[in-house]
Structure 1
Amino acid sequence: MLLEDWTQNHVLGKVIGVAYTIEFQKRGLPHVHIVLWLAESDRCHSTEDIDTIISAEIPDKETDPIGFEAVSSLMVHGPCGVVNPSCACMKGEEGDKKCSKFFPKEFNATTTIDSNGYPVYRRRNNGRTIKRRGVDLDNRFIVPYNRGLLVKYQAHINVEWCHQGKLIKYMFKYVLKGPDCATMVIEKDGQPDRNDSGANNNDEIQNYLACRYLSSCEACWRIFDFSIHYRKPVVQKLIFHLEKEQNICYNEKESLTSVLRRNHVDGTMFVQWFQANEQYSQGRNLTYVQFPEKFRWDNTSKMWIPRKRDIAVVGRLIYVQPFVGELFYMRLLLNFVCGATSFEDLRTVNGVVYNSYKEACLHHDILGSDDDWHLAIQDASTHQTGRQLRNLFVTMLLFCDVSDVRSLWDKNWKLMSDDIEYIHRKKSAQQKFVIGSKHLHSLTLYDVDLQLRKAGKTLMDFPTLPLIDNAFHCRSQNTLLYEQYMYDRHLLKQESLTLVSMLNEKQKHIHEVLTKNVMDKAGGLFFVYGHGVEGIPISYSEWVINVGDGKVAKIPIDGYSDSDFIEIPPELRVDSGEDGKQAIINKLYSDLLARHIDPNYFRDRVILAPLNEDVDVINTEVLKLSPGQCRVYRSYDSICNSSVNYESQESIYPIEFLNSLKFGGIPNHVLELKVGAPIVLLRNISPARGLCNVCESNGHPNERITKNVVYHEIFNDL
């Protein structure tokens, strides 16, 4: 009935997509989470449109008694808060409990959308109240609802508006969360069941399999085969692969003949798409993503078959990350090219068959501009050596989305080669030594190949780049051996003796055992570990929290005295009521103005925080204390123009929304830098050059930051 009202009667507008999942509370009662997609013409494009569908106010008892009665009995939250601190929604410590659903809400004269994309519904202070348990509750305690659905079904139906991508991510996590779990432990004589080591017998794997809570209501629901979840339209996962690189699954005891017969080269979903385009004309104006709308995949016959009736189906390509290479560019083309009949046809643009899918993407204008990469190399060339420019070029190849690698090389290779002639002139001791242009090109390319090999890549991984000749290729095969011979053995021996002298007795024993094993070529497998205190019958995490809150002065544990515990020194503690972040900043960076140029100043000081949002706040405050002009770098964020429904996605995900997204391991949209401020790399760019996930510094007096290039000094000993 409810789905019919939405999908057939269109009580909320024309529905083009729906998904739901049934959940069972621990009391056993079922409830449903439903997500609806409305057609573009019926979507809420303004806050006034939201008000026509969703209300968070008490109806007028005189003019709408039915609505008033329904809201009064079904859509009022609470009472909670001070008047009812024992309410189930109240969370927190005793004396400081707050409503986990954030009731009461604030009064609002109109509906608005906050900075995070969440709707703040209209809740006018019009004097209307509902008495529950002796407490008068106003519009601030009303759960958002749709009047038509509420009155018809006489059930609690919370209706929310969702239009921003940030909300959708969390909405689906909530809709598709797992079942309730419960763990039960039986103890004897009031003592916990323990294994021989004295630790709790906590089998995580068994808990995962056995701790699911299944109520009698849910058991009946499943026995009668009622739907647990539903989605419309159907989603068809689309497999694709490079030519002759499809996955083949087989039993280890199966014969090769049987495997080949069952996994025919033309039997994959992707290859059959090519053949279907040759056979059926109605699919030639469709991309691979659109193809399931008119054809269905028959897994038995391994063929695409035309649909006899129209069924809403959404095609979804498997995700491929950009660093995978050709498969990533093939995925871009599959969102763009219609009616391809072969792998070659997929790479064909205006009658020209290109050697790679990336080249085809480039000529389809799917990829972006490389202007920034050209400018970065040209900017750096005014101050950096050829070796540094070659390193910069390799970094771009490995970590940046360069559309036309060959063009970037052709236009800038001479800048990258400016030190090669000098190096060979110095080696040959001939002041007038000159290298021809062709040979200079090969030498420069050879050095680029060396740098790529250190990162596990070669020139072969970038098909558009020219290849070095056989002489250079033979030399490049021994780069690892060459690096070993280049080590300064005397310096390394001195460093080894220094480090060994710093080991404690147990560490020295481990070092001696391992060293002897290597020198004797005995081989073997070793596990080095540092054991902790076992058998303490309290939760360490709970103890730390209690100590931090000042609830315990010492730990009353049998068999342990005060000397077994370490008290945190007063100078390392933040007093109660003090701003912790600001106190730490003031303590560590009190003399920042006088010493900000000294690289060792930042190397010897670091503030760690578990949350990125705290890190951002601390970084901003410390950067403000640093003298000098701040240069702001902004990322270029956009929706890939080969995406399905590109135009509609542009309206749903505006540029400012893309800029606001924050992910772990990826820099924020805005990066602010000053000369002398430390930088932390978020990935291993070049371990051989020390460019790993460690701190670097712009602190050298001669270092600077420009529009396209950041010059830095590495903290090698971090």
Structure 2
Amino acid sequence: MWRIYGFIVNEMCPSVYSLHLHLEDKHQVTFRANEDLINVLNSDRSAKSMLTELFALNQVDENARTLLYKEFPEFYVWSQQYKEWTCRKKKTVIGQIVTANPFEGERYYLRILLNHVRGPLSFEDLRTVDGVVAPTFHEAATMHGLLQRDSSLQDCLHEASLYQMSFSLRRLFAIILVYCNPTNPRKLWERFEQDMSVDFRSTEDSMSDVRMQVLRSISFTLESMGKDINSFHLLDDNICFGEDQLESREIDDELAVEIPEEDIVASEALNSKQRHVYHSVLGKVFSNEAATFFVDGPAGTGKTFLYKALLAAVRSRKLVALATASSGVAASILPGG
């Protein structure tokens, strides 16, 4: 609607300052292509950012210590050239900390703290609550009472545990970890571990063996959603399933894709143009060289026939070939698509 009515799209009043957000020593550093990287890293200027200089100013300026990070641009101006904050003399400006996704972990909780803690002196000072230094920004935000409790998630799992099979409960637990951003995943794990392990319990298995089987099942579900179980810190140490578990379920599934007999012999029925593409692609694949190919042709000219021959050739050598398409219908006509 803004564009339809012809309003200005390249100017804004008042101006909005985008404030840098980064963990300690994780800020971006720009440099010219001909500069020596060692000199860049050793430069005092490279060590400075909007956030680090906020801490520095708070240590010497009492007025600055009364402000939140997002309020800083209303009273101070950031000089990109000199990498410093100076007092604002004119113009109204609004500050906005760049966004962070809850899945980013510590960077997200750092943003929460910066939006509520006035006059922080350092990253460690942000993690200090009532004289106690929290090990993470997540715990500091929890100690400040800035995070919601997981009571609704506990109620959800408790209700499901009354009637759901253990496998379904483990899948629900994984979904909650990925999509509901619980503040204390480990507490949820400890609360419902027994309910999620019923189908693995036997008189012969020890408690530690049962626990690893449950965690392995949860890990498979998390992997299918692109997540690593160790990122949720369910145990004190990283969870490792041994050498035989290093390959993910997705790789196992791809290696198990059946190769139709007609696709294996399809290479013998290719026409000259199809055969040219066939050998060009496989030449790159089997020599482990990166390449991109674009196969063009009207419907009915044998593109899918060629793709099936390529997939069969790669998979017959016990390699993984991912068959993807821009629609479900197109993918469904490819083996394992």
Q: Note if 1:530 corresponds to 2:300.
A: no
Cα pair distance change 1:462/1:469, threshold 3 Å: closer
Deviation at 1:301, TM superposition (A): 2.7
**Residue 231 of structure 1 aligns with which residue?**
13
**Residue 643 of structure 1 aligns with which residue?**
none
Q: What amino acid maps onto 1:529 in structure 2?
A: V
Q: Deviations over 1:38-86 (max 9, x none)?
A: xxxxxxxxxxxxxxxxxxxxxxxxxxxxxxxxxxxxxxxxxxxxxxxxx
Q: Deviations over 1:276-323 (max 9, x none)?
A: 11111111121100122222223333222234x475321111122332
Deviation at 1:528, TM superposition (A): 4.3
CA contact (8 A) 2:224 2:250 kept: no
**Residue 394 of structure 1 aligns with which residue?**
174
Cα pair distance change 1:301/1:484, threshold 3 Å: closer
Cα pair distance change 1:355/1:392, threshold 3 Å: same
Q: What amino acid maps onto 1:466 in structure 2?
A: L
Helix, strand or coil at the partner of 1:444: helix
Q: Deviations over 1:130-152 (max 9, x none)?
A: xxxxxxxxxxxxxxxxxxxxxxx
CA contact (8 A) 1:381 1:389 kept: yes
Counterpart CA distance in 2 for 1:523 and 1:340 is 51
Counterpart CA distance in 1 for 2:232 and 2:285 is 43
**Residue 288 of structure 1 aligns with which residue?**
69
Deviation at 1:324, TM superposition (A): 2.3
**Residue 478 of structure 1 aligns with which residue?**
246
Q: Deviations over 1:492-547 (max 9, x none)?
A: 24xx23667999967x95699369937993456462433359xxxxxxxxxxxxxx
In structure 2, which of residues 4, 23, 28 is the aligned counterpart of residue 247 of structure 1?
28
Deviation at 1:405, TM superposition (A): 1.7
Counterpart CA distance in 1 for 2:188 and 2:5 is 42
TM-score (norm 1): 0.37
Counterpart CA distance in 1 for 2:101 and 2:168 is 28
User: Relative contact order, CA 8 A, sep 6+: which one is greater?
Assistant: 2
Cα pair distance change 1:405/1:265, threshold 3 Å: farther
- Percentage of identical aligned residues: 26
In structure 2, which of residues 148, 152, 157 is the aligned counterpart of residue 368 of structure 1?
148
Q: Note if 1:313 corresponds to 2:93.
A: yes
Counterpart CA distance in 2 for 1:300 and 1:322 is 32
Aligned 1:27-66 pairs, distance under 5 A? none
Q: Note if 1:435 corresponds to 2:199.
A: no
Aligned 1:332-347 pairs, distance under 5 A? 332-347=112-127
Q: Note if 1:517 corresponds to 2:282.
A: yes
Q: Note if 1:462 corresponds to 2:232.
A: yes
CA contact (8 A) 1:442 1:468 kept: no
Cα pair distance change 1:498/1:350, threshold 3 Å: farther
Aligned 1:177-576 pairs, distance under 5 A? 177=9, 231-232=13-14, 234-262=15-43, 264=45, 266-307=47-88, 309=89, 311-421=91-201, 425=202, 432-436=203-207, 438-463=208-233, 465-468=234-237, 472-475=240-243, 478-480=246-248, 492-493=258-259, 496-497=260-261, 509=274, 513=278, 517=282, 521-522=286-287, 525=291, 527-532=293-298
Q: Which moved more, 1:284-293 or 1:316-325?
A: 316-325
Helix, strand or coil at the partner of 2:258: helix
Q: Deviations over 1:472-506 (max 9, x none)?
A: 454476123x76567785x724xx23667999967
CA contact (8 A) 2:40 2:46 kept: no
Cα pair distance change 1:332/1:282, threshold 3 Å: same
Helix, strand or coil at the partner of 2:94: strand
CA contact (8 A) 1:244 1:265 kept: no
Q: Deviations over 1:239-274 (max 9, x none)?
A: 121111111122333113431244645411110101
CA contact (8 A) 2:3 2:9 kept: no
Counterpart CA distance in 1 for 2:255 and 2:41 is 55
CA contact (8 A) 1:294 1:310 kept: no
CA contact (8 A) 2:127 2:136 kept: yes
- CA-based RMSD of the aligned residues comes to 4.0
Cα pair distance change 1:174/1:325, threshold 3 Å: farther
Counterpart CA distance in 2 for 1:326 and 1:488 is 36
Counterpart CA distance in 2 for 1:251 and 1:519 is 36
Work out which of the two has the higher radius of gyration on C-alpha atoms and give 1 or 2: 1
CA contact (8 A) 2:281 2:293 kept: no
Cα pair distance change 1:280/1:375, threshold 3 Å: same
Cα pair distance change 1:381/1:241, threshold 3 Å: same
Deviation at 1:442, TM superposition (A): 4.2
Aligned 1:610-621 pairs, distance under 5 A? none
Q: What amino acid maps onto 2:278 in structure 1?
A: V
Cα pair distance change 1:311/1:517, threshold 3 Å: closer
CA contact (8 A) 2:68 2:118 kept: yes
Q: Deviations over 1:328-354 (max 9, x none)?
A: 222222111111111111122333322
Counterpart CA distance in 2 for 1:378 and 1:499 is 50
Helix, strand or coil at the partner of 2:17: strand
**Residue 175 of structure 1 aligns with which residue?**
7
